[in-house]
Amino acid sequence: MIAGVEEGLIPHYRHAAFDDLEEERRLFYVGLTRARTRLLLTVCQERMLWGRPWAFGPSPFLPEAQLV
């Protein structure tokens, strides 16, 4: 299970600022390929952050998960 496959979490917003997207992509791929029989990815439409609801879109890496 990989929870929180949302923009800002995967890739994490701090890593995106440091041009480390390829490392984040590699770690996501490793997580995908470690699944033996089934893999569950979760995405929230809205989550509470600092006491306020925030809407995040799906991770830009999500389409790559379909290729694995």
Number of domains in the chain: 1
Q: Containing domain of residue 19, as a range?
A: 13-65
What pLDDT does 51 receive? 93
For residue 16, give the DSSP letter: H
CB 25 within 8 A of CB 62: no
CATH number of the structural domain spanning residue 39: 3.30.160.800
Residue 17, domain member (yes or no): yes
- Is the preceding peptide bond at 11 cis, omega within 30 degrees of 0? yes
Which residues of the chain have a pLDDT value below 70?
15-19, 67-68
Tell me what pLDDT residue 5 has.
Answer: 92
pLDDT at 68: 59
Tokens 């490793």 locate to: 30
Q: Is residue 42 part of a domain?
A: yes
Residue 35 domain flag: yes
